[in-house]
Chains A and B, each alone.
Chain A
């Protein structure tokens, strides 16, 4: 069990640029989640997948955000035309379908938009 991994760990980009983050979940986990966390706050749900199907997307997720999990394994989160308000830690988590009580989080990607 190698845990959830995310890449890159840090990303600095200029406003208006596009960025893409990758998440590799624990191999036997069907479910994969993306959250965003800002300083002093808890993680906020963005979206989640069961296998390759995107089952729910938060209202927080504007049209500039898109996520994919093409083969039901790793996932990517893309942010287009980044804004300073997008600066945050982007966390990925995975879980089994049953039981699903525990989500296992990756170390996160810290995005800074200048």
Chain B
């Protein structure tokens, strides 16, 4: 079957660094995306890794290892506004035929003062 595994919750203090891991087992793989969703809000795109390595976007970085079927999202210099759910999502079809994302269950990040 197909699955994405990520921790259900992570708690950290303001200013800290948090790493959210995502392991996946899918029939096809063409890339890993990360989305942020605040309570009651819409998912918002954060980053995408199509190749192995690290992608950095401001305080957020995302990493992919295709050989390990593993990726992570790194949140640095945590702020209270980073309290939200974070989802990893797999593209499992080629880019020219790609239609859907397969999402994990999400990781609730709680930032405390």
Contacts and interface: CB of A to CB of B under 8 A. Distances in A.
A112 B89 CA distance: 26
Contacts of B100: 33, 45, 48, 56, 58
B104 interface: yes
A72 interface: no
Interface string B95-113: 1001111111110000000
Contacts of B101: 43, 45, 103
- Size class of the B contact interface (CB-based, 8 Å): 20 to 34
B44 interface: yes
Nearest to A106: B42
19 contacts: A4-B42, A31-B99, A33-B99, A40-B105, A40-B106, A41-B105, A45-B100, A45-B101, A45-B102, A48-B99, A58-B100, A91-B43, A100-B98, A101-B33, A102-B33, A102-B45, A103-B101, A105-B43, A107-B42
Q: Which 6 A-B pairs have the closest CB atoms?
A: A42-B103, A45-B100, A105-B42, A102-B45, A101-B48, A48-B99
Interface of B: 4, 31, 33, 41-45, 48, 50, 87, 89, 91, 95, 98-106
